[in-house]
Amino acid sequence: MKTEMEKTPLIANLVSVQTTTRCTLRCKKCSCSFPLFNPPVDSDVRLIKRSIGRLFNVFSYIHEIRIAGAEAFLYPHVIEVIEETAKHRKKFGYINIVTNATYVPKSEILQSMANLNCPVLVRIDNYGELSGKLTELRAVLGEHKIDYEVRNNCEHNYFCGGWIDFGTEYEDKHYSASELKKLFFNCRNRTECKTVWDGVLYACGFIAAGHKLLKCPVAARDCVDLLNTDNEAAIQKVKDFDKYPLLGCAYCNGFDPVNSPRIPAAEQM
């Protein structure tokens, strides 16, 4: 007989679906260390589509499903990923795509987004001079009646006060048990950073990137192989994600929304 905990629907505020490490910028403190992927890597679209189906078997509802990259609009199969996600309309709030306004999506991508039967939001990070396509991007999104918002990350006008330095060198910080617990339970990523990457759901996107780069360990309890784990086991593992510090937390500076020091956004390598 299932306990009340096991019967509770699994709901997420945000889950990112990783598509590509391609980007038009090379930011020193990129939160997922995308400049370190050399050459850039595109995920297998068939694997992504299967993962999306499994994701919505595990979660009862996801408020925001993010089609993520580095720069997701550069992913050759981004239309397929968006349209596959839209098939699960009743199980999510809206689709979000984040872009840095250095690239204008092709017209067929925009048209596909405009034709969807679900809310889509393009979140534009404005990095000032780096975001040279901002005006053009806003214009084409408006023409296609696609909702967007602009987050200013220009000098002296940083969204959320600036970026966070997660520690992209992925060095073991040798925290004490109490320090690790404090870092984990104060971290915004504990509830806002679940990431699907190559069929695996990771509790944290920063740690997932470090794992892919072979720079950061991931414990078995800190991720779920969506394609090879049954629903009940997957659900229980995800429910346990935010109970204990992750193995990879030892390699991170953490993301305390109040106390973590801010750094200038998008400084280039």
How many whole angstroms separate alpha carbon 33 and alpha carbon 211? 11
Mean of pLDDT values over 119-141? 96
Query: Is residue 140 over pLDDT 70?
Result: yes
Direct distance between the N- and C-terminal alpha carbons of the chain, in angstroms, rounded to an integer: 56
Distance set, CA 216 to CA 101, 183, 220, 238 (Å): 30, 17, 13, 20
* pTM of the shown model: 0.93
Q: What is the band of 159 on the pLDDT scale with cuts at 50, 70, 90? A: low
How many whole angstroms separate alpha carbon 19 and alpha carbon 52? 12
How many whole angstroms separate alpha carbon 194 and alpha carbon 115? 28
Range with the lowest mean pLDDT among 93-102, 121-130, 154-163, 229-238?
A: 154-163
Query: Is residue 4 over pLDDT 50?
Result: no
Token output for 114: 């405009």
Domain formed by 4-263, architecture: Alpha-Beta Barrel (3.20)
User: Which burial class, exposed, middle or buried, applies to 143 when counting CB atoms under 10 A from its CB (0-12, 13-18, 19+)?
Assistant: exposed
The whole-chain average pLDDT of the chain stands at 93
